[in-house]
Amino acid sequence: MMNKILPGLCLIQALVVALWAESCSEPPQVPNSVWNIDTSNGTKVTYRCTKGQLFGEQTLFCNASRQWHASPPVCKEACGKPRPIEHAKLQYPADEISVHAVGAKVHYACSLGYYATSGLTESICRHDFTWSDPALVCAPPSSHCMKPRVENGEITSEGKERYSAEDTVTFQCSAGFQLEGSPYVTCTENGGWKPELPKCMKYTTSNMKEFLYHGKKLEDLKPRLELYKLSLEIQKLELEIKQKQEA
């Protein structure tokens, strides 16, 4: 009888020892959490918080020296690190803190050479331990110019929603309107147009003299035109005097 049972008992004992040799101590207790053990490929324990948010390693592996590979995580009613935003950085001291209380605010600033095109620079730790989305967009200043718009005018060059620096746009006014300013504008590095956008003025006989003549107002040219007229009159008189002397 004993001879029959003993080999079986020994086998079970050997199995238990073999299993024990491969495993770590009980998984460490983490307040406000539940854990799950998985022995399909080595032994690993995965924690899930029942209250708050998990900080640290979510899964601990039982390593070759039969120790859990890292310290157990903690469950805290707090937010973790705010999410990174492209071309922006968190401002001190938020950049050095990894656990933030509910209601805490952090501030972002666009990196040097970039500027905020939309969104907020502030984010707040909400009651669900997530950060409000600042939706901040930091763009390099030379990125683009928005499509220029001139009332009663249209673009005669290639029409696009965004233009790159050095792109040139040409305008034409609608029928009955006259262009004032430069018909060509160029997109600059800082996202503006140079020179300033032209205007399309309603064409009437009363405002005719206001229109530009080779980039100058006719009114401003008047003294020069009068001087020219005077010089022509002097020439005419000189000619008449000459003709009389010859006669």
Ligand X SMILES: *[C@@H]1O[C@H](CO)[C@@H](O)[C@H](O)[C@H]1NC(C)=O
Residue 67 CA to residue 56 CA, distance in Å, equals 17
Pick one of 25, 41, 205, 243: the residue that binds ligand X (CB under 6 A): 41
Query: For ligand X, which stretch binds (CB under 6 A), given 10-18, 47-55, 61-69, 141-149?
Result: 61-69
- In whole angstroms, the minimum distance from the beta carbon of 53 to ligand X comes to 23
Residue closer to ligand X (CB basis): 44 or 144: 44
Q: Cα–Cα distances in Å, from 88 out to 97, 103, 138, 160?
A: 17, 22, 7, 28
Residue closer to ligand X (CB basis): 65 or 243: 65
Residue 121 CA to residue 91 CA, distance in Å, equals 10
Q: What are phi and psi of 170, to 5 degrees?
A: -115, 140
Strand 199-202 with 177-180, pairing? antiparallel
Pick one of 63, 91, 157, 235: the residue that binds ligand X (CB under 6 A): 63
- Rounded to 5°, angle at Cα 110 from 104 and 112: 135
- In whole angstroms, the minimum distance from the beta carbon of 39 to ligand X comes to 11
Query: For ligand X, which stretch binds (CB under 6 A), given 57-65, 101-109, 223-231, 236-244?
Result: 57-65
Instruction: Give the number of residues in contact with ligand X, rule: CB under 6 A.
Output: 8
Task: Please tell me whether residue 69 binds ligand X under the rule CB under 6 A.
Answer: yes
Task: Please tell me whether residue 58 binds ligand X under the rule CB under 6 A.
Answer: no
Residue closer to ligand X (CB basis): 63 or 235: 63
Going across the sheet that includes 193-194, the strands are: 153-155, 168-173, 184-187, 193-194
Residue closer to ligand X (CB basis): 65 or 206: 65
Residue among 212, 162, 166 at smallest CA distance from 185: 166
Residue 165 CA to residue 194 CA, distance in Å, equals 11
Task: Please tell me whether residue 64 binds ligand X under the rule CB under 6 A.
Answer: yes
**Residues of the shown chain interacting with ligand X in the complex, contacts defined by CB under 6 A:** 41-42, 63-65, 67, 69-70
